[in-house]
Amino acid sequence: IQSCIAYHSTNSSFIKGSLRENFMIYGVVDDSDIIEILTLCCRNLILSKENVDEKFVDELNLSNGEKQKILLCLALFKKPEMVFLDESTSYLSTADALDFLERIKHLYSDSIVIFATHDISLQRLFTRKIELSHEHLRTVSCNTTISIPKMKLNG
């Protein structure tokens, strides 16, 4: 199942280690794949042995947005059939999020993507939308089924 489904959230993070060690956790071991991901996500990072193999990720001067993009690419590396993205572009500007998601959409055109976001400007990238608002939600106990009336589906 892990090869069929990918999950990424704003809480995804690196382990304490080098970029290569973090990439290996996701099965990314080939240098060309590492270079491709880093080039896509970190335009200003100097691709050197020191930066990839020797320095810990937190020693590199990566923005939160760059880290978020790397972790998202790592989660998607095995081209899963279904992808759940929970606020996965929250550290990116809207323009960067649109650009990055356009690339992801092109690379993973055969995958089903479920994307949760507060940024409504990103909705144009998706074929269907489920809109949830406070007026449609209610507090429930642990053993109660949640009912969301008046769900609005576009598509």
Q: What is the pLDDT of residues 104-134, one digit of tens each?
A: 788 888 888 888 888 888 888 888 777 776 6
pLDDT one-digit tens code per residue, 87-102: 888 888 999 899 888 8
Whole-angstrom CA distances from 133 to 10, 88, 102, 138, 146 are 21, 20, 26, 10, 14
**The CATH homologous superfamily of the domain defined by 5-128:** P-loop containing nucleotide triphosphate hydrolases (3.40.50.300)
pLDDT at 135: 63
pLDDT at 20: 96
Q: Give the confidence band of 103 by pLDDT, cuts at 50, 70, 90.
A: confident
The residues spanned by each domain of the chain are 5-128
Task: Tell me the whole-structure pTM to 2 decimals.
Answer: 0.74
Higher pLDDT, 151 or 67: 67
